[in-house]
Amino acid sequence: MFHHVVLMEFTPEADQRFLDRVEAYAEQLRRSAPNLARYVFGRNVASRSNGLPWGIVSSFASAADHDAYQVSRTHQEMKAYMAPYIARIVVCDVDEDRS
């Protein structure tokens, strides 16, 4: 299993319309990404979030499936849409098969 976690802080311009559109992209990915086990976009409720109040948590059957997701049309559109609203971002990838 391959896990991809993205923690983000958005700019003040990231309003409810922005969040709704990101969730719509997330739903598209849930329906279209092959071998996607889980894809969640939501608030980071950790008390130790270090100012990163939003996150995406996803899991794929393999690293290859994650790589295919990274270059997919929907993911590329989502990244392009979100980029101007991201003030800070941290990514964590964990490959259980290589641990």
pLDDT in tens, 30-88: 999 999 999 999 999 999 999 999 999 999 999 999 999 999 999 999 999 999 999 99
Written as one string, the DSSP assignment of the chain is -EEEEEEEEE-TT--HHHHHHHHHHHHHHHHHSTTEEEEEEEE---TT-TT--EEEEEEESSHHHHHHHHTSHHHHHHHHHHGGGEEEEEEEEEEGGG-
> Domain residues of the chain, as ranges?
2-98
Q: Is the pLDDT of residue 99 over 70?
A: no
Q: What is the pLDDT of residue 98?
A: 86
pLDDT greater than 70 at residue 94: yes
Q: What is the pLDDT of residue 97?
A: 87
- CATH class held by domain 2-98: alpha beta
